Amino acid sequence: MNVLKANTESANERLEKIRRRLDTLEDALFDGRSARDIVDEIIARVKRNGDATLVELTKKLDGAALTPGTIRVTQDELDDAAEKVSKSFLATAARIAKNIEKFHLKRRRKEYELSKTPDVTLGVKRVPLMSAGIYIPAATAPLVSSVMMNVVPAKVAGVDRIAVATPPDRDGTVNRHILAVCGMLGVGEVYKLGGAQAVAALAYGTETVQKVDFIAGPGSVFVQIAKKAVYGQVGIDMIAGPSEILVLADGTADPRYIAADLLAQAEHDPLAAAMLFTDSEKVAAAVPGEIEAQLAKLKRAGIAKRSLDNYGAIVVFETMDDAIGAANEIASEHVEVQTADPEAVLAQLRSAGAVFLGGMTCEAVGDYYAGPSHTLPTGRTARFFSGLSTDTFTRSMSVLSYSEKALRRASKKIIAMGKVEKLDAHINSVRVRLNDE
């Protein structure tokens, strides 16, 4: 990785490429067609042909020969997975699930009343969604932790029905650790489906797949494009596509830690973005060597190297304030703050999926253990999306109650507005209650 100076042509070009990453990936051509066109076709085919399309695409894209009768994981398969994983793994998963549950129980919003008098009550009622589909990636790396990071907040929120979709292996089975965690969490509705076809099936339903009201979870570019495409038919959590990390570091930071954390995200996917913004030329100069040394020891070194070549960046800014301003504009999924005063930097951060303070708070702590969900917005959507939580799986309903006395007191103003808008039935609905002709 080359060290770039902020506001130079090379730095601006590199950062613009990262900013436009999601749009570029949506427009990328596969066999002469854009990713968006491919997703639109898949969705249309699933809507039209249901299970037949799911079977066909699973064979073509995942190499697994399914039938309509084997799309859904059976209880026997769930039980078998629980028996085959180690007890130590289940104990670890249970502890992590507990951490997630404790965090989201504390975070859960409560119902409240804005005002209450003998004549008027105004308030907000929070209600859980009736059904949610959770997508769990399992292509190059089965994201077992994502089962807990998505399902537990949904359960804490009180969602009535939770369905999981995850791609099968070539032999038509699902990763046993994913299934074991589903079983541990009480999720019995699991489908052997990946990609845009899984999203389409959850959104529209098929002969086998029961449709849901909401779809959440991380996934490939195709999964996230599909989520955008079905939005409106169902709700979605966010755009949680190829991973990102941005490290904000000053001269006190350890280049070894920075390199390790950039690589931890780069190993996810060649489309991941790993960035360092710093005001220290010394730290910036030391990181590339650390990356090379650590890269040589990684099993997924090829993926990580392609990621850094594609979307890696080390940029030196004049001041930390300048670096923070650029970080807010990039709006990375993960932002690590490795500075002498992390809290001061946090006070200035406006756009990030999640923030990790201090040199000891590696991003893996959030991925695997701490409690906040690791399903976070990507592609600069952290400017307006939040990370997954119980809020994701609930909605609010305004509640109003007026007595006759209160309605009479407000009637003249209501009628006046109805006259301006020329909506006579609105006016009449007030007058018939007050016997006012």
Residues acting as catalytic residues: 333-334
Helix 320-330 / helix 9-19 crossing angle, nearest 10 deg: 30
Beta strand pairing call for 244-249 and 235-236: unpaired
Distance between CA 302 and CA 120 in Å, rounded?
65
CA distance 340 to 328: 20
CB atoms within 10 A of CB 423: 12
For every residue of 72-113, DSSP letters joined together read BPPHHHHHHHHHHS-HHHHHHHHHHHHHHHHHHHHH----EE
Identity of the residue numbered 417: M
What residues pair up with 180 in beta bridges, in sequence order? none
Residue type, 87: K
DSSP, res 70 = G
Cα distance between residue 432 and residue 437, in whole Å: 8
Supply the DSSP symbol for 429.
H
